[in-house]
Amino acid sequence: MPEHAPLPPPLAGTVVHGAGRGKGLGFPTANLAPVPGTVVPPPAIYSGWLARPATGGVHRATVSIGTNPTFGDSSEVHVEVHCHDTSDDLYGERVELWFVARLRDTERFATVDALLAAAREDVRRSDALLASPAGLRARPTAATPT
């Protein structure tokens, strides 16, 4: 998706268990199983908001949609969300992703250290975008039941 392409619509789903790799690397993720029949956005790294209808919470997030090419162990597309400002256990919870910006393409990194450096930069950029006037305007005012 080109940088100027329209952003995907919100994506709803349930948080499920993943491989646990993100947590082990210091970037815990909520793995999203989208609502059946939902169109998943194209693979990329996105900045956005994670809304929690059950609690009304809204959290800053960096979202990876792709096949985890650095680890090369899957052809299945995964939706993985790193929440910047909560470490709550989200397993089994229904959430919504509200996309604010596409940060970059997914890519295969030569080393895990290179992946971690890119992830840190993604979170830094995502935080800056979400704190900007445009990012704040895109923030859901309250999570609503889906």
Residue range 15-30: mean pLDDT, rounded: 84
Domain that holds residue 26: 11-138
Q: Which residues pair with 12 in a beta bridge?
A: 96
Q: What b/e readout covers 53-85, taking b as 16+ CB neighbours within 10 angstroms?
A: beeebbbbbbbbbbbbebeeeeeeebbbbbbee
Which of 126, 63, 131, 130 shows the shortest CA–CA distance to 95? 63
As for how many domains the chain has, the answer is 1
Q: Please report, for the domain that includes residue 24, its CATH number.
A: 2.40.30.30
Summary count for the chain: helices (H), strands (E) = 3, 6
**143 located within any domain:** no
pLDDT in tens, 34-50: 999 999 999 999 999 99
Question: Is the model's pLDDT at 15 over the cut of 80?
Answer: yes
**5 located within any domain:** no
Q: Pairing mode, if any, of strands 11-16 and 57-66?
A: unpaired
Going by C-beta distance under 8 Å and a sequence separation of 6 or more, which residues neighbour residue 124? none
Residue 124 dihedral angles phi and psi, to the nearest 5°: -60, -50
pLDDT in tens, 90-136: 999 999 999 999 999 999 898 889 999 999 999 999 999 999 998 99
**22 located within any domain:** yes
Contact 145, 53 (CB under 8 A): yes
For 112, the 3-state DSSP assignment is helix
**4 located within any domain:** no
Residue-level pLDDT at 27: 83
pLDDT in tens, 37-85: 999 999 999 999 999 999 999 999 999 999 887 777 678 889 999 999 8
**Complete DSSP assignment for 38-74:** PPPPPSEEEEEEEEETTTTEEEEEEEEEE--TTTT--
**90 located within any domain:** yes
Residue-level pLDDT at 1: 42
**63 located within any domain:** yes
Which of 103, 111, 127 shows the shortest CA–CA distance to 25? 111
